[in-house]
A and B are shown apart, each in its own frame.
Chain A
Amino acid sequence: MNRRRAPLALLIPAALGLAFLILPLAGLLIRAPWTTLPERLTEPGILAALRLSLLTASLATLVCLVLGVPLAWVLARLEFPGRRLVRALVTVPLVLPPVVGGVALLLVFGRRGLVGGWLDQTFGVSLPFTTTGVVVAEAFVAMPFLVIAVEGALRGADVRFEEAAATLGASRWTTFRRVTLPLIAPGVAAGAVLCWARALGEFGATITFAGNFPGRTQTMPLAVYLALEQDVDAAIVLSLILLVVSVGILAALRDKWVAP
């Protein structure tokens, strides 16, 4: 703990930044209909949406881990032509407006899409309007967060440990499993948490690609959006529930794995 006084030139913008981020949340808390809160919480639709949100965000995070960690490793550890272009392409879902991402997913995985058409004709499987579709949409927008975090961790990790393992006869796969992965575990955990949070809040791509059907594809953000059409109070309650649950889970995870 540094005892020297922090410079005002930093403190003032810091305070402003904090106020800017926290005031909207305070606004939600002030406007929340506390008196009718208990009966609103027991509405069946809310619990279904919350359950679906937690389930799909967790599955999407799992998909991102399985595909994203190897992708990050390739970007960080392999020299190949066009690597910078690939790295730029990986971040596309970050800058793509989510609704456009949803349309792009439809054009590939939809009933008439390149892959979706084949899936539909060969296996009779269609992704849009299913819970699987929600997971696909969430994974699409959340994966870049994980890849960027893990790639950063890999670049920051000391490669000499890996080289030492290699000189002792470990194969590349063993080295990755026994040396690299434990080394970057905090980075992976941080990336997974960020990825999960992003998936939980996903709205645009989900409603465009997976549609909105209670219990099947209606996640919390979609329920909030539609509640807003009729009843601002209901929307605020839903948002608060989502906030409390996600902040609770993130805080628990942070202390466990990503402790500074």
Chain B
Amino acid sequence: MRRMLSGVALLAVLASAACGDSGDSAPAAGPSGSAAGGELIVMAAASLTESFDKIKTDFEEQNPGLEVTISYGGSSGLAQQITSGAPADVFAAASPATMKTVVDAGDAQGDPVVFVKNQLVIATAKGNPEGVRTLADLKNPELKVALCAEQVPCGSAAQKAIEAAGVDVEPVTLEQDVKAALSKVKLGEVDAALVYRTDAKAASADVDGVEFPESAGAINDYPIVALKNAPNPSAAASFVAFVRSEPALKILTDAGFQQP
């Protein structure tokens, strides 16, 4: 029995060690370095992938010896990993609501700041074969429309925009994240989807992004914050400052984000 208990204890240790490790083998909190050395772990919303990869390269150039590891995922999943004690230095979320869970859990160092905004567009197949011009065009029962589920940021934004327009859109599916909604358009399974402008831009080889005025009523704020239990607090602070600097903002606006 005692052996079994010690086995259970071992498993508990293993489980807590594995908890929140999102598979990119981020080592547990090591010795913290200065801003100019060691390792920095950033958790960032999936929609930031393309721009943060570029920002990471520039930031590493400025801080030789510092290695930046970024874990991308759905904001709510990342927030959950952070509140379960995953070792991370910085959190960049796709919505204030997901950021709030981290702040409420007491895991944030100071107040989050909004560093960019993102807006919805209607993604259609390349060349817009169905001639979608406005949100009202999506009412057409012949059209198959994908939206994000309301539980995820792009879904709540879509809901807001649709309500603002007073249009009754009947989607065929409520996707679990914005990239999945976009894939359905790319594969030709749906005729249109409401996605972020940045996602449509990143996929411009396969899809067209149709701007519509009501999206202004559903703009999504992206907050960023350094984390309280950051293994590398000085690097965390300088990374947050760098993301808000001119060169990083240029990378972000080129990707289709708007300045706050």
Give the docked Cα–Cα distance between A70 and B12 (Å): 46
On chain A, the residues within 8 Å of B77 by CB distance are 228-229
Q: Decide: A106 and B149 in contact? CB cutoff 8 A.
A: no
On chain B, the residues within 8 Å of A16 by CB distance are 4, 7, 11
Q: Which residue of B lies closest to A212 (CB)?
A: B174
For chain B, the count of residues having a C-beta within 8 Å of the partner chain is 27
What range describes how many residues of A lie at the interface?
Answer: 20 to 34
Say yes or no: is A128 at the interface (Cβ < 8 Å to chain B): yes
Using known A-B contacts A228-B76, A229-B151, determine if residue A213 contacts B189 with beta carbons closer than 8 Å. Answer: no
Q: B3, B11, B76, B176: which has the most chain A beta carbons within 10 Å?
A: B176
Give the docked Cα–Cα distance between A100 and B22 (Å): 20
Q: B15, B144, B149: which has the most chain A beta carbons within 10 Å?
A: B149
Using known A-B contacts A212-B149, A226-B151, determine if residue A112 contacts B174 with beta carbons closer than 8 Å. Answer: no
How far is the CB of A55 from the nearest CB of chain B, in Å? 19
Say yes or no: is B55 at the interface (Cβ < 8 Å to chain A): no
Number of A-B contacts (CB under 8 A): 78
Say yes or no: is B34 at the interface (Cβ < 8 Å to chain A): no
Describe A's contact surface by its main secondary structure: helix
Q: Decide: A211 and B172 in contact? CB cutoff 8 A.
A: yes
Q: Decide: B187 and A106 in contact? CB cutoff 8 A.
A: yes
Give the docked Cα–Cα distance between A110 and B190 (Å): 10
Q: Decide: A232 and B11 in contact? CB cutoff 8 A.
A: no
Say yes or no: is B39 at the interface (Cβ < 8 Å to chain A): no
Q: Decide: A212 and B3 in contact? CB cutoff 8 A.
A: no
Interface residues of B in 42-74 (CB under 8 A from A): 74
Map CB proximity to A onto B1-12 as digits: 1 under 8 Å, 0 otherwise: 001100110011
A residues touching B (Cβ–Cβ < 8 Å)? 12, 15-16, 19-20, 23, 103, 106-107, 110-112, 128-129, 207-208, 211-214, 217-218, 222, 225-230, 232
B residues touching A (Cβ–Cβ < 8 Å)? 3-4, 7-8, 11-12, 15, 74, 76-77, 80, 144, 146, 149, 151-152, 171-176, 180, 184, 187-189
Known pairs A15-B7, A112-B189, A213-B171 / 17 extra A-B pairs, C-beta < 8 Å: A12-B3, A19-B11, A20-B11, A103-B187, A106-B187, A110-B187, A110-B188, A111-B189, A112-B188, A211-B173, A211-B184, A217-B173, A226-B176, A228-B80, A229-B74, A229-B77, A229-B151
27 cross-chain CB contacts under 8 A: A12-B4, A16-B7, A23-B8, A23-B12, A23-B15, A103-B187, A110-B188, A111-B189, A112-B187, A112-B188, A129-B172, A129-B173, A129-B189, A207-B175, A211-B146, A211-B175, A212-B174, A213-B173, A213-B174, A214-B174, A217-B173, A218-B174, A228-B80, A229-B77, A229-B152, A230-B76, A230-B151
